[in-house]
Structure formats: C-alpha cells, structure tokens
Amino acid sequence: MKKFLDRKLRQYIQCHCSDTRDSLRCAQETILYGMLGISSVVFLFPYVMGVILAARLGLWPVILIDTLAYGWLLFLMFYRNLSYHGYAYGVLMLIEFLGLALLIVTGNHGAGWLWLFLAPVMAALLLDRHTGYRVAFGGAAATVILALLDWLLGPGWMHLLRDGLPSFMAIVSNYLALSVVAVFIIGRLLGSLETTLGVLRERTRELELTQEVTVDTMASLAEYRDIETGNHIVRTRKYVQLLARQLQRQSPELAAGLDDETVELLSHSAPLHDIGKVGVPDDILLKPGRLTKEEFEEMKKHTRYGRDALMHAEEKLGSNHFLRLAAEIAWTHHEKWDGSGYPRGLSGEQIPLSGRIMAVADVYDALISKRVYKEATSHEKALAYIVEHAGKQFDPEVVRALLLVAEDFKSIAREFSDQ
C-alpha cells in the first residue's frame, strides 16, 4: 500500500509541477501537491465516519460542511487545469471555509480556530510571508464580522459570543498574534532557505559544468585518436538521453531503474564509452581496411581499458555513481543480446541496461557516419539494420524505443553532422 501511494504521489507531482521553477518553488509545489494527494486518501475514512456519526446525532450542518470540504478537496486533486497559484489559493479557501464554518456551528470550543490558524501558516509556506499576513488579518476580520452578525441577529445564533464579548476578543487577539508570529518565523526561515538554495544552486552548477567539461575533455582523447569521429560523442550523448526518456514512458519495468537522475547521468556518461581507445595502437585504430583476427582481439581490449581507467578514477575519488555508470557503459556497450558480443559474452538482461542503450546509440551513429574503412549509411538503412538485428544484437525493447524517436535521431544527426 505504501509503495502504491508513493508511486501515485510521484506521478501526481510530476504531472502538476511546473517545468521552470527554482529550488524553493519546487519544494513548495512538492508540499502542495503531496498534501493534496495524501489528504484525499487520509481524510476519506474520517469523513465517512464523521458523516455517519453526525447523521445519528442529527448534526446536518456538520454533514454539509464536511461534504462540501471533501468535495472541494477532490476537485483540487483531480482538476488538472489550474496553475500553482490556483491550487494554492484553492487550498487556502478550503481551510478558511472549514475554520469559519466550524466556528459558526460549534463556537469557540471546536476545531474552528485550529483550522483558521492553519490558513496563514499554509499561506506563508506555500506562497509568501505577505500573503500569510493578509490571510491572518483577513481571518480575524471575518470572525469579527461573524460575531457582529451574531450580535445583530440574536446572541447565540452562531455561538461565537456565548462566553461573552471579552472572551471572544481575547481569543481573536491571541489568534492574530500567534498567526503573525508564525508567519514571521516561516517567512524568515524561507528567506534564509532561499538564500542557501541559491548558493547551493550556483555551486552545483559549477560542479556540473566542471564535470561536463572534464567528461568532454576525456572523451576527446579518444576522438583525437580517431580523427573521423567528429561530433560522435555529442550525438551519442543525445541519442542515449532520447532512448532513456522513451524507455521511461513505454516500459514500467525499465522505468523503475531510469529515474530522472539516472537518465541525466547516462547522457553525461555516454561520451566516455570509447575512452579505452586511447590504449589501442594507431595502426589498428586507424587502419583503413578490415582488421585481422589478432588486430580485432586487440581492438576489443578498449572496453577493458576504458573500464579500468574509470574504475581507477573512482578509487581515487571514492564512491561515485557517475563514474561507476560510465565504467559500466565502457565495459558492456559491445555485448550482444544473443550472447555473441564481447568482452564477456553476456546475453539478454545480463547486460546492464546502460550498455544495451549505448549499443543501439553507438551502432546507429557508426552506421550513419563516414569512417576510414567505410562510407556513411542513410538513416533509413541504419534503422533497417538495427530492426533486423533486434533480439540478436540489440535489446528488442530498446529497438522499439528507437523506432518511436527515430525522427528525433535523424534531426540530431543532421544538426551535429561531421560535415
């Protein structure tokens, strides 16, 4: 049940979260949409039991309030066309409605003040401090207006003044003071958090840029050894990312191992798949004709050279998922689905998913690119070759993903052509 709820919550957040947002807004959106998703489930049982008990006691106004509130919650949960601010204000209106309605029905001794206090707190947390202040003063003003109506229409109608005017004013004053203090504290904390997140974003971006430059520089070592590979590392990076994204969408089983972070790491690791070629002699790497059996055996060693170099780097830097993934790709991208590949002759799902994705991207780009030993093949012929070898050389599921993004592959090949 927990896994089911976690999965549904992640899907809901991904569906609603905006694509362009800073870290603080991302956290606010996660809180808001997570709260909506969890509340719709958690409050179902109390709502049903509350309605049953209220019906037995004849408390029909309570049933009406609970039904309107839960219906409103479900509307916010399932309606997909509101902006973030629309959902946030919808939640605040729901909380204010519950607070004021319970004050009318149960007076000062129910949960009305608790819900009313929650409104400015949530406003400050989900939006900003100024909105929190406005909601706090708005809530206090609304209770005063209700008390005034209660006094004009006949004392006791709303139960707000049942304990006397001084008691009511003391409660309102305390509510307002506590709300303002809570909003002030939350505002200061969020301000400090936003500053910290800004610094972390900048440092993270610097680290990402350093990593990207380092990877491209390392990958270029292999490129300089093979002068006709050109933009191969750029294209394969983009191919791998496209395939991984498509596999996320089409295969729930594979998507479990392809979260967004892993997809990004895959795309950044892809350029290092042939880093081991720096260890292959020039007379083999640049040979214009077919390699002899002995030369091909030497060429095969580039997978081991690449893995060893990257694993050695990980030993120096400590545990590093990025380097492990890059080593995995370098080590396995020449394995074949039927077990006829190298260096270990792995087959099927024994081959890591990263290697299976890289194999399709690498072969496609090799086919459409000119080499010292061959001319370039057309996009259509390259696709036909890969489809023909699905289930033999390539993972059929990865080939299916390729066919669904084939036009994107063609665009990338055209944009980053070696010509």
Residue 15, pLDDT > 80, answer no
Contacts of 395 by beta carbon, 8 Å cutoff, 6+ apart: 337, 351, 356, 359, 360
Express as a percent the part of the chain with pLDDT over 90. 28
Which of 145-149, 198-202, 234-238, 384-388 has the lowest average pLDDT? 198-202
Cβ atoms < 10 Å from Cβ of 108: 17
Confidence of residue 243 (pLDDT cuts 50, 70, 90): very high
CA 159 to CA 147: how far, in whole Å?
9
Superfamily name and number for 226-415: Hypothetical protein af1432 (1.10.3210.10)
Q: Which DSSP symbol is given to 343? A: S
- Stronger pLDDT, 248 or 81, i.e. the higher one: 248
**What per-residue confidence (pLDDT) applies to 1?**
47
Instruction: Report the pLDDT value the prediction gives residue 20, as an integer from 0 to 100.
Output: 47
Q: Which long-range contacts (CB under 8 A, 24 or more apart) does 89-98 make?
A: 91/32, 91/35, 91/36, 91/122, 91/126, 92/119, 92/122, 92/123, 92/126, 92/135, 94/69, 95/119, 95/122, 96/135, 96/138, 96/139, 96/142, 97/68, 97/69, 97/72, 98/65, 98/69
Query: Rounded to whole angstroms, how far apart are CA atoms 383 and 380?
Result: 5
| pLDDT for res 359 | 95
- Tell me what pLDDT residue 148 has: 83
pLDDT tens per residue across span 55-88: 887 878 778 888 888 888 888 888 878 888 888 8
Cα–Cα distance, 313 to 304 (Å, whole number) = 14
Task: Name the segment(s) of the chain with CATH classification 1.10.3210.10.
Answer: 226-415
Average pLDDT score over residue span 266-288:
84
333-348 pLDDT, tens digit per residue, is 999 999 999 999 999 9
Residue type, 134: R
